[in-house]
């Protein structure tokens, strides 16, 4: 065994850590936040809106992590091969989603034509680079995404 015995389930497959679930949910944030916010705005409780004209691009960036989440939910023996394919490519899907989000946020930040940097940009960039570093360097994630119950 490469990892501590507690990292394996009864069938000796690697367990999904909570950190990966948090990363996936963070990458799905635009799909998770917008319906909640639409409900708040529709109820008249708030006039402020997070939905920007460019929100549809951010929602598109949340689709690959949603596919990873579906593969995670269906991660058990005797499922359709598409979930196996999604799971084995999940690391790539998360990386593409984060990199594209960083590029898109940078693009909209530079389109602002002001010579200041917003806190939103700094926060998203810092979190994005931390997640990129973790996903690229974690041996556990590499092994987890190559491990699928058959």
Specify the 3-state DSSP secondary structure of 14: strand
The count of other CB atoms within 10 Å of the CB of residue 58 is 20
Reference 1, options 15, 17, 12; nearest CA is 12
The pLDDT, as a whole number, for residue 100 is: 93
- Distances in Å between the Cα of 144 and the Cα atoms of 8, 73, 80 are 10, 14, 19
Task: Please give the Cα distance from 45 to 35 (Å, whole number).
Answer: 15
The pLDDT, as a whole number, for residue 71 is: 93
Each residue of 118-139: pLDDT tens digit?
787 888 899 999 999 999 999 9
Mean pLDDT computed over every residue of the chain: 85
Read off the DSSP letter of residue 12.
Answer: S
Each residue of 67-101: pLDDT tens digit?
999 999 998 888 999 999 999 999 999 999 999 99
Task: Please give the Cα distance from 146 to 84 (Å, whole number).
Answer: 9
The pLDDT, as a whole number, for residue 55 is: 67
Q: Has residue 47 got a pLDDT over 60?
A: no
User: What is the radius of gyration, based on Cα positions, of the chain?
Assistant: 18
Q: Has residue 53 got a pLDDT over 80?
A: no
């Amino acid at each position: 065994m490469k990892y501590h015995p507690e990292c394996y389930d009864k069938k000796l497959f690697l367990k999904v850590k909570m950190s990966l679930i948090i990363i996936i949910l963070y990458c799905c944030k635009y799909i998770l936040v917008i319906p909640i916010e639409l409900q708040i705005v529709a109820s008249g409780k708030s006039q402020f809106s997070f939905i920007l004209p460019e929100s549809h691009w951010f929602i598109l960036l949340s689709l690959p992590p949603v596919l990873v989440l579906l593969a995670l939910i269906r991660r058990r023996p005797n499922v359709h091969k598409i979930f196996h394919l999604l799971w084995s490519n999940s690391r790539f899907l998360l990386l593409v989603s984060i990199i594209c989000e960083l590029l898109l946020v940078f693009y909209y930040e530079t389109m602002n034509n002001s010579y200041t940097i917003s806190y939103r940009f700094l926060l998203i960039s810092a979190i994005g680079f931390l997640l990129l570093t973790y996903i690229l360097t974690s041996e556990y994630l590499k092994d987890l995404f190559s491990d699928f119950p058959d």
